């Protein structure tokens, strides 16, 4: 017996190299709007200097390439549980790969954020649903916030629920997406881009209060 609260099993196993390559090709055709999301991530980050970036579920490195080319990146940590995806990302990034630290880790484990350091931005695209149930979204974002420096940002993009969604347990309603950021403790939550039933939200990790002015 299964209930709506059960985690869904992994359907597409990105740890398999052939499966990962097939997903990349199919996604290029099925989701032609993704480059506009890459640009929207870069638009948020472009004004910030010397960025320490962590990407969750970094996959084939497409977002990493755009950020590395268009933004002032000091360090870039690409976290994914698939060595196959890291291999593909290193290929895709070419010389830029030398600026990326590839971390193989499962973000469903509660200690995934340990020892990673602090970041000016945590970014994630089409990956948070891989916690395999939307009820894990807030805990994932809370852990992400634990490694965002004060004043730093979380950029979260993923699909939201529509009548056509095949696996509704994975997709929060559109209104629940910014609420999840709020529940995880982020402030100044803003929609930065939306297309194809996917939205990019930006939340800030509040800087510490200046006690001298209160
Ligand atoms: C749909 S792909 C998206 C990849 C990338 N963010 C993009 O949009 O091009 C999901 C990615 O999340 C990774 N992933 C899935 N489950 C994960 C987990 N539990 N921990 C870390 N990474 C995971 C997969 O290996 C895959 O690279």
What structural domains and CATH numbers belong to the chain? 43-207 (3.40.50.150)
> Ligand 1 center to residue 115 CA distance, Å?
20
pLDDT on residue 208? 67
pLDDT at 2 over 70: no
Tokens linked to 118: 């602090």
pLDDT at 209 over 80: no
What pLDDT shows up at residue 4?
A: 77
User: How does residue 207 score in pLDDT terms, banded at 50, 70 and 90?
Assistant: confident
Average pLDDT value for the chain: 95
State residue 51's pLDDT score.
98
Give which of 141, 123, 131 is closest to 167, Cα–Cα: 131
Q: CA–CA distance from 182 to each of 58, 93, 175, 179 (Å)?
A: 23, 33, 11, 5
Mean of pLDDT values over 187-208: 95
Spatial neighbors of 14 by CB under 8 A, at least 6 apart, are 20, 23, 59, 80, 81, 82, 84, 85
CB 130 near ligand 1, within 6 Å: yes
Helix axis angle for 83-93 and 17-30, nearest 10°, is 60
Report which DSSP code applies to 111.
Answer: T
Q: What is the per-residue pLDDT for 7?
A: 95
What are φ and ψ of residue 18, in 5° steps? -65, -40
This prediction's pTM: 0.96
* pLDDT tens digits for range 117-144: 999 999 999 999 999 999 999 999 999 9
Q: What is the DSSP letter of 130?
A: G
- CA 38, distance to chain mean position in Å, is 12
Provide, rounded to the nearest whole percent, the portion of the chain with pLDDT above 90: 93
Position 214 scores a pLDDT of: 52
Joined together, the tokens standing for residue 138 give 């807030």
Quote the pLDDT of residue 175.
98
Cα–Cα dist 205/185, whole Å: 7
Nearest CA to ligand 1 atom 19: 106
Reduced to 3 states (helix: H, G, I; strand: E, B; else coil), residue 63 is helix
pLDDT for residue 5 is more than 90: no
Tens-place pLDDT, residues 39-77? 999 999 999 999 999 999 999 999 999 999 999 999 999
For ligand 1, pick from 85, 130, 137 the residue to mutate: most ligand atoms within 8 Å of CB.
Answer: 130
């Amino acid at each position: 017996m299964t209930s709506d609260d059960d985690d869904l099993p992994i359907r597409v196993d990105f740890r398999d190299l052939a499966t990962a390559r097939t997903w990349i090709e199919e996604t290029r055709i099925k989701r032609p709007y993704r480059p506009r999301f890459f640009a929207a991530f870069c638009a948020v980050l472009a004004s910030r200097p010397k960025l320490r970036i962590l990407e969750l579920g970094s996959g084939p490195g497409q977002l990493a390439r755009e950020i590395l080319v268009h933004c002032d990146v000091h360090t870039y940590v690409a976290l994914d549980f698939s060595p196959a995806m890291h291999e593909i990302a290193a290929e895709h990034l070419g010389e830029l790969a030398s600026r990326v630290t590839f971390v193989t880790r499962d973000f469903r484990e509660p200690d995934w954020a340990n020892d990673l350091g602090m970041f000016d931005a945590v970014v994630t695209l089409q990956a948070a649903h891989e916690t395999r149930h939307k009820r894990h979204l807030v805990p994932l974002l809370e852990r992400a916030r634990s490694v965002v420096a004060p004043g730093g940002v979380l950029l979260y993009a993923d699909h939201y629920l529509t009548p056509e969604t095949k696996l509704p347990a994975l997709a929060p309603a559109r209104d629940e997406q910014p609420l999840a950021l709020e529940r995880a403790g982020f402030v100044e939550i803003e929609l930065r881009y939306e297309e194809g039933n996917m939205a990019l939200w930006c939340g800030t990790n509040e800087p510490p209060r200046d006690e001298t002015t209160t």
